[in-house]
A and B are shown apart, each in its own frame.
Chain A
Amino acid sequence: MSTTMTPVKARRSTSEKEKATPAWQKTLTSDRAARVAALLSFFLFWVVISALFARVPGPVEVVQRLVDEFSRGEVFGNFGSTLYRFGVGVALATVVGIAVGVIMGLSQLGRAFFESPVLVALSIPAIIWSFLTVMWFGFGDLSPIITTFLTSVPFVIVNVAQGVRGVSRDLRDMSTTYKVPLSRRIKDLVLPAVTGYVAAGIRFAIIIGWNGVLLAEWFGGGGGVGYRARWWYDANRFGGFAAWVVLFVGFIVLLDRFVLDRVIQRAFRWRDASA
């Protein structure tokens, strides 16, 4: 029996496919479109839920409250204090986290020493730290700073230590053969090798740390975003409460996208330079 062979259709090259795809389709299937879609669906969800439940403030109300707060002159002072506390706390966590992480990654002894304390710290939620620090340090700037620091530093440590342990054995041996001093090894070998892990650690610190700062301000009383949010909450005005939370979370998201992302890309430009 004989079969007729139909010629296999020639496969299309990527440039042909590229040309065949209409522009609107490319736009719709882009990463950016996915991000916009996520934002839109969240917004829609919010609108629907707030329309159904009286106790959920809708976007319009939240924006109104925010404008009110601005006109009352409450925003800059409170937001400024929170940012200051948050910034100092995260900066401390970054510096201490990198130092401890490097020690844990390089030395067996350091690892044995720090492993359990870090694990314990990792499991303590921000709310516990905020109770403790308010008890210890009272209502000033110190409680939110220390809470931010304590909630975020274990994440930096764990990330950095993991990165340091993964530094190429070959490059470490090379450094040993050439008797490169430890300080230079850390600066030129370990730290650049763990940039990605450090960045991930700082990202975690920021995302986890804001819990800390807001909670400490909530239970403390020295002003700030958390304090103001609680003020509205206690007054049973959820719109005001939501306004502050939206303001701060929005800020964190923007910080992450526009500052952290760029810094990370810059740190990795040697990778893009590669052929």
Chain B
Amino acid sequence: MAVLTIKNLAKTFNVGTPRASRVLDDISFDVRGGTFVSIVGPSGCGKSTLLNIISGVEEHTSGDISLTSDSGGPARMGYVFQDPRLLPWRSVMKNMMYVQNDRSEATVGRCRKYLEMVGLTKNADFFPGQLSGGMQQRVGIARAFAVEPDLLLMDEPFSHLDAITARGLRAQLQDIWAQSKKTVVFVTHDVVEAVELSDRIIVLQPGGRIFEDITIDLPRPRRQTDPTVATLQAEVLGRLETMKAMARTPEAVA
């Protein structure tokens, strides 16, 4: 069953002013429950805007968007941002609890469980400022999983980290995802990362249209050292280059 359905979605900033700019144009796709979908595209093509519309922080200009939840109630969402977005004056554990619906024992236990999964049990009482950037981002990931979301949104969560830390966290994310099987929409400009993590990649082109919808059918867990993974990464990268070349010469195509 589709958790997320988007139909003919468009977004224009500053509608009705001289500064009006169309960022998303006629986007349609749906995401089935339990799948990991990546949205890939060059910077500025509207990926964050799309996620913010899905999460409800931003309003869309036209089109339809619908979310369903297993429980039948309002869909619960988790969001991992590019930066950790933790309350600097609250401890790690309190940050986890801040976004929870209730304060029950079960909820506290769930927060502990996800903190353990990202290896931060010992840091539960630390302030965010006492953690490294990578550790803070892990808190953000644990927080998102701990709300048991119907849909988990991630916006370039590893792009601010150094390559080694990012690789470690990608492996950790694969593990957690394999255990929880949450529905994930993951935004990145990094094709290599997208191929490693996703069941499916939606390529967005400048101007905010869908260029291609690619299914990644590779066994998990995926390792960057695996040649089949590397081959597919190269292939998808090649298609993206084609897209960029086409975007540079629009007259020639038209």
A9 contacts chain B at the CB level, 8 A cutoff: no
The segment out of B79-87, B181-189, B228-236, B240-248 that lies at the interface is B79-87
- B57, CB-defined interface residue at 8 Å: yes
Considering the complex, which residues of chain A in the window 91-132 have a beta carbon less than 8 Å from any beta carbon of chain B? none
- Report the Cα distance A271→B129, complex, angstroms: 8
Pick the contact of A188 from B83, B90, B153 — CB < 8 Å?
B90
Contact A270 B56 (CB under 8 A): no
Instruction: Flag if A184 contacts B56 (CB, 8 Å).
Output: no
Contact A177–B98 (Cβ < 8 Å): no
- At the interface, yes or no: B178 with Cβ under 8 Å from chain A? no
In the assembled complex, A192 has its CB within 8 A of some CB on chain B: yes
Judging by beta carbons under 8 Å apart, are A274 and B89 in contact?
Answer: no
Complex contacts, B88 vs chain A, CB 8 Å:
270-271, 274
Q: A177-B55, A274-B129 are in contact. Are A170 and B83 (CB under 8 A)?
A: yes
Number of contact residues on A: which range applies? 20 to 34
State the majority secondary structure of interface residues on B.
loop
Cα separation A177 to B130 with both chains bound (whole Å): 25
> Does more than half of chain A's interface fall in helix, strand or loop, or is it mixed?
helix
Cβ contact within 8 Å between B147 and A189: no
Name the residue in A174, A188, A195 with the highest tally of chain B Cβ atoms < 10 Å from its Cβ.
Answer: A174
Asked if A174 meets B129 with Cβ closer than 8 Å, knowing A188-B90, A192-B87, the reply is: no
- Least CB distance from A175 to B in Å reads 8
- A64 at interface, CB cutoff 8 A: no
Residue of B90, B94, B127, B147 near A178 (CB, 8 A) is B147
How far apart are B86's CB and chain A's nearest CB, in angstroms? 9
Q: What residues on A are CB-neighbors of B52 within 8 Å?
A: 173
> Which A residues are in CB contact (< 8 Å) with B90?
188, 192, 270
Instruction: Provide a sorted-by-A list of 10 A–B residue pairs whose CB atoms are within 8 angstroms.
Output: A174-B81, A175-B98, A175-B99, A176-B56, A179-B76, A188-B87, A193-B89, A273-B129, A274-B127, A274-B130
> Could you tell me which B residues sit within 8 Å of A by CB distance?
52, 55-57, 74, 76-79, 81, 83, 85, 87-90, 94, 98-99, 126-127, 129-130, 147, 153
